[in-house]
Structure 1
């Protein structure tokens, strides 16, 4: 297991986050489905908590099933609903076996994302009555830009993540590369880390996609699940700060004028 320094939760003035997603998977009584009554209870709970997610859209997903005696092309369809405000700055998805929250407008877990996530988990508890939680995941998709515009990624990220770009032989010829790591970051907590060059607004960038998760088999309570997401946030932030250089972290925190983002 990694020995990570404690996370520093100072808000970033320049958060490099086009997407943050939290998902909790759960088990319910056999035959449970998302009826109109269930959906109405879920939406009413969000409204009661002070969140206006008036845009409701049916969604359907297809998953490929693998296993003995099952053709690889076999799929299972699942249906659910997405809820969002009019500006679609947030998206809540309720399925028969999961609930998720995502946003391209992440600023702070404690002050912004976390309180809404708690409301979403409470609404799922009221509407769906989950019996157990099977998986929780918190994904931070970071797209980093070189502060000096030179794209010398060995200066801005941990060298192991960008080895081809700092190798004397390879760096002049690298057109693209990507890698994935699965890291043991805390008791029962792992992180899938995906890295590689990317493009952001027609400029070169570097992807640092950190999906921190725990696979569980415990009874569901919204408080307990919220607690797990707080642990995932702690581990995910600590890992991010360990994977970028001190110079990059200072740039994201303070920008060019030395002042941190608002608390």
Structure 2
């Protein structure tokens, strides 16, 4: 078990992969509850980010419930907002206690972190949160088994494949799903979801879903938030490289 140890993750150059398996990337920052966000405030955040690059503004009601002995008690709907890019592949979501920027067309860390920096700066200028409670990066990868391969043995480390390697059960397993909590160091943690499955066409896929996060209660300072985002991004890169084989990495390049 972790116990505050520091993992020695492999180096990753951060090069763009020609066969990138990324299907979704998101960064979320959590802060103290600011109350429902008015449309005028959401529009002001959009203006600071740049209306040309982020032209869409849509209401995004937030539904929540509390589990009790009698079931789930629905809580009052709260107001949130969604600001979208021209192609709608990227969006910034603003809630009373958090903000997220996500994309289904990842442009690389340099551009993507720039988008997040714009959002953080706009939040500081318009909404003025005082505490930075949690920062999380999520990278969801869906890797397709190469056409010339018959299984995952050469592409995913055996320690992750687990039951797929079992001589008795392995041939009959059609899907696996596992959740692993990893303490990377005292300030960074990861919930890794991974497993094999078949898509709608029957082609074998492997999910590698990294939810890397840090929790603290420092002041909401954009520069320090971006430094922490950079650090967590390096953690994601190292975890990705640690959970695929050299052969798969070369294939994705």
More deviation in 20-29 or 225-234? 20-29
Partner in structure 2 of residue 256 of structure 1: none
Partner in structure 1 of residue 32 of structure 2: 27
Task: After superposition, give the CA deviation of every residue in 1:158-217 in whole Å (9 maximum; x if it has no partner).
Answer: 112111211111111112221100001133100000011234573321101011001111
CA distance in 2: counterparts of 1:24 and 1:189, whole angstroms: 14
Pair 1:6-2:11 in alignment: yes
1:5 to partner: Cα distance: 2.2
Query: TM-score scaled to structure 1, two decimals?
Result: 0.87
Q: Is the 8 A contact 2:92 2:102 kept in 1?
A: yes
CA distance in 2: counterparts of 1:151 and 1:238, whole angstroms: 27
More deviation in 148-157 or 158-167? 148-157
Query: TM-score scaled to structure 2, two decimals?
Result: 0.90
Number of matched pairs? 246
Pair 1:42-2:41 in alignment: no
Over the residues paired in the alignment, what is the CA RMSD in angstroms?
1.9
Residue 26 of structure 2 aligns to a residue in which SS?
strand
Q: Is the 8 A contact 2:36 2:78 kept in 1?
A: no
Partner in structure 2 of residue 218 of structure 1: 218
Written as runs of structure 1 = structure 2, the 5 A alignment for 1:70-219 is: 72-76=71-75, 77-110=77-110, 112-200=111-199, 202=201, 203-219=203-219
Q: Which runs of 5+ in 2 are unaligned?
A: none
1:47 to partner: Cα distance: 0.9
CA distance in 2: counterparts of 1:7 and 1:136, whole angstroms: 22
Closer, same or farther: CA 28–155 of 1 in aligned 2, 3 Å:
same
Closer, same or farther: CA 131–182 of 1 in aligned 2, 3 Å:
same
1:65 to partner: Cα distance: 2.6
1:55 to partner: Cα distance: 1.3
